[in-house]
């Protein structure tokens, strides 16, 4: 008789759940086979992979099943393995894939290098990389054949989903299944909000509304008190008051002027022109150094291309 396994919510809740139909199909397949072919992966007796199979086993005790214990050095290494495993084998929605990528990045950043466990089960993470976020994101991007910035955006999305889950697990699951239509930017925004604001945002998501910006505290929106009581001429103090009022208006949503297409196009054109000229001049001024390090320079330029593609992707959503 197999020993009882530990079901830890910290592991169980990190994997996008199966739909009801997917779970029923899995259950029927196992019953028909009379055996759970894939072993349930454990770490110190705690289930890392196989929560649905274990649930089915508890319902049908006559089934044949087995476990495979992996000696991960810490829980972050276990998470790393778990997310990579899920990304490699499941039919995922775009939202689920993005969420798992973000969680993989989170786990990899926290992972502690360990010669026995890490080198065996997550060879890509080396002591030389450690917790350097930039190197880790590049590493995952290479593994998954995606851009580094896609990994960084995925982390923000996953943080937003986790924040939504604290308010409503049903809404979080619906988003991951692609049933609730909401932009990834709106999901990411939830993680930055205070608890009360999150409730409001989740309600807007559930109603199919676009999330409104987080309310700015009154102490920022309201005109700051004049603290310039000493020193300077009256004219100088008056100028400082005007500057303080302008700064306050910058944070006040009610004072934002109407923005039209002409203004947008002008800003984009100007920004692109300045950006390209700056890059061209930097390379021109140091041409020999750039030629000697052509591969590195081209890598940076390719990252810029990825950034541009990501902007296009945002407009397509």
Encode the chain in three state secondary structure: CCCCCECCHHHHCCCCCCCHHHHHHHHHHHHHHCECCCCEEEECCEEEECHHHHHHHHHCCCCECCEEECCCCCHHHHHHHHHHHHHHHCCCCHHHHHHHHHHHHHHHHHCCCCCCHHHHHCCCCCCCCCCCHHHHHHHHHHHHCCCHHHHHHHHHHHHHHHHHHHHCHHHHHHHHCCCCCCCHHHHHHHHCCCHHHHHHHHHHHHCCCCCCCCCCCHHHHCCCCCCCCCCCCHHHHHHHHHHHHHHHHHCCHHHCCCCCHHHHHHHHHHHHHHHHHHHHHHHHHCHHHHHHCHHHHHHHHHHHHHHHHHHHHHHHC
* Residue 293: pLDDT band with limits 50, 70, 90: confident
Q: What is the tens place of the pLDDT at every residue in 30-81?
A: 999 999 999 999 999 999 999 999 999 999 988 999 999 999 999 999 999 9
Query: For position 46, what pLDDT does the model report?
Result: 94
Domain ranges for the chain = 9-69, 75-206, 259-317
pTM: 0.61
């Amino acid at each position: 008789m197999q020993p009882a396994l530990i079901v830890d919510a910290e592991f169980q809740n990190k994997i996008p759940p199966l739909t009801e139909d997917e779970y029923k199909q899995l259950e029927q397949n196992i019953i028909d086979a009379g055996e759970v072919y894939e072993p349930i992966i454990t770490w110190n007796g705690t289930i890392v992979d196989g929560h649905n199979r274990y649930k089915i086993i508890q319902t049908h005790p006559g089934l044949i099943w087995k476990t495979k214990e992996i000696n991960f050095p810490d829980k972050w290494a276990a998470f790393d393995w778990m997310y990579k495993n899920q990304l490699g084998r499941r039919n995922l929605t775009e939202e689920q894939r993005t969420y798992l990528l973000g969680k993989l990045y989170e786990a990899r950043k926290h992972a502690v290098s360990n010669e026995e466990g890490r080198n065996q089960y997550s060879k890509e993470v080396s002591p030389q990389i450690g917790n350097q976020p930039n190197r880790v994101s590049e590493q995952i991007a290479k593994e998954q054949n995606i851009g580094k910035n896609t990994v960084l955006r995925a982390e923000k999305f996953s943080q937003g989903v986790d924040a939504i889950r604290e308010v409503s697990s049903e809404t979080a699951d619906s988003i991951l299944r692609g049933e609730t239509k909401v932009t990834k930017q709106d999901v990411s925004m939830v993680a930055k909000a205070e608890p009360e604001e999150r409730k409001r945002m989740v309600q807007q998501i559930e109603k199919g509304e676009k999330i409104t910006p987080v309310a700015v505290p009154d102490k920022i929106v309201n005109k700051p008190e004049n603290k310039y009581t000493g020193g300077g001429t009256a004219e100088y103090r008056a100028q400082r008051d005007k500057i303080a009022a302008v700064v306050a208006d910058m944070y006040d949503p009610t004072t934002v002027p109407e923005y039209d297409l002409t203004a947008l196009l002008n800003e984009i054109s100007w920004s692109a022109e300045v950006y390209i000229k700056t890059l061209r001049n930097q390379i021109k001024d140091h041409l020999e150094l750039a030629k000697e390090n052509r591969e590195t320079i081209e890598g940076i330029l390719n990252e810029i291309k990825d950034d541009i593609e990501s902007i296009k992707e945002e407009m397509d959503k």
